Amino acid sequence: MSHSTGCRHVAAYAERVTARDEASDFINEMYMAVMEECPLWELPGGTTDLLADGPVRHGPWEPRACAELIIRWLDRGWVELYLPELPPQWELEPADWQVRAERRGAFSILARADARQLLQDWQRWTVDSANGQASLSRTDVGMSVPVDDWLGAATA
């Protein structure tokens, strides 16, 4: 069993997805970030798996590379961005897309064009802003896509 700092790995997927080199490690970790619904500000920092043999570090990565890969999946309709309802005492810097987001229960789902623009403008992914707290999620379509297709689309 492993534990991670940053977003925690989902054990069922973590066992299936194994890194063979730095490039596949990056793709695998971005896939895991989607599965775990990580906020954008966490992506470039990577994660550390705390294993019995000692810690295993993944990343950090260039924000532009993170954005480019997530955009591939967004363009296929497999990923969307959402803003969860967060405590008001966090006093996040608001984002222009918030007025256009679709409200679904406790979540605000970004329009695809707004999600794409935010992904392209990774300098806005700060922890103290709605932009940085926007989180990854699979769409209904993305939930039915096999893991091998996700990983293959990353290099297509």
Q: What is the pLDDT of residues 75-124, one digit of tens each?
A: 999 999 999 999 999 999 999 999 999 999 999 999 999 999 999 999 99
Beta carbons of 61 and 26 less than 8 angstroms apart: yes
What percent of the chain clears pLDDT 70, i.e. is strictly above it? 87
Round the average pLDDT of the chain to a whole number and report it: 89
Q: How long, in residues, is the chain?
A: 156
Is residue 144 assigned to a domain? Answer: no
| pLDDT at 20 (0 to 100) | 57
pLDDT above 60: residue 12: no
User: What is the domain count for the chain?
Assistant: 1
Is residue 74 assigned to a domain? Answer: yes
Place of tokens 């977003």: 7
What band does 14 get if pLDDT is binned at 50, 70 and 90? very low
Q: Is 156 helix (H, G, I), strand (E, B) or coil?
A: coil
Is residue 130 assigned to a domain? Answer: yes
Q: Which residues of 33-55 are buried (b: 16+ CB within 10 A; e: fewer)?
A: bbbbebbbbbbbebbbbeeeeee
| pLDDT at 49 (0 to 100) | 87
What band does 19 get if pLDDT is binned at 50, 70 and 90? very low
Average pLDDT, integer, range 6-27: 59
Is residue 70 assigned to a domain? Answer: yes
Range of the domain at 42: 3-139
Is residue 148 assigned to a domain? Answer: no
Is residue 83 assigned to a domain? Answer: yes
Q: Single out the residue of 77, 67, 71, 58 nearest to residue 40, CA to CA.
A: 67
The DSSP secondary-structure symbol of 93 reads: B
Place of tokens 């222009």: 96
| pLDDT at 10 (0 to 100) | 43
pTM, two decimals, is 0.86
Is residue 123 assigned to a domain? Answer: yes
Give me 71's structure tokens. Answer: 């955009």
Is residue 145 assigned to a domain? Answer: no
pLDDT above 90: residue 15: no
Average pLDDT, integer, range 16-38: 84
